[in-house]
Amino acid sequence: ENIITSAKTAEISEEIKNFPNQYETIVGERGVQLSGGQKQRISIARAIYINPEIYIFDDSLSSVDANKEKSILEKIYNKTHSKINIIISHRTSSLRQATNIIVLDKGEIIESGTHEYLISSAGFYAKMHKEQTTNEHK
């Protein structure tokens, strides 16, 4: 039951149901039979299942489209809101709900604050966000 709930949080449960042996399917070393997005979502499901005190998501949704990313992030935040979540991402859309965003450039902190604050400050983060949202709508 916990495994299925974790898979639903990571939005991989429907795809697992289509695997030959569903949750018992052997996917090969390093998940060679899976797409990049499937690998990422299974890794997220595994992390959710383990239920650690600290989650570190390092570009964990880079192979997932923007709509699925938004849905998964909402589910992750709902499931892990009482834990520490560290999200490393190049996509500003992944960071909208963060309580504090730290922007690094060449290993140096150049900005920090909430999504709204960083957008209003018109710095590097705001420029990145504008470029990404403009590209999403093309």
Which residues make Cβ contacts (< 8 Å) with residue 123, sequence separation at least 6? 103, 110, 111
**DSSP per-residue string spanning 63-79:** TS-HHHHHHHHHHHHHH
First to last CA, the chain: 41
What is the C-alpha separation between 42 and 7, in angstroms, rounded?
Answer: 7
Under 8 Å between Cβ of 55 and 86: yes
**pLDDT tens string 67-100:** 788 888 888 888 887 888 888 888 888 888 889 9
Predicted TM-score (pTM) of the model is 0.76
111, 125 Cβ separation under 8 angstroms:
yes
Counting residues of the chain whose pLDDT is more than 70, the rounded percentage is 93
Mean pLDDT of all residues belonging to the chain: 86
The pLDDT tens digits of the residues spanning 7-43 come to 999 989 988 998 888 888 877 666 667 888 888 888 8
The 10s digit of each residue's pLDDT in 102-119 is 999 999 999 999 999 999
Question: If you count them, how many residues does the chain have?
Answer: 138
Say which DSSP state 123 is in. Answer: S
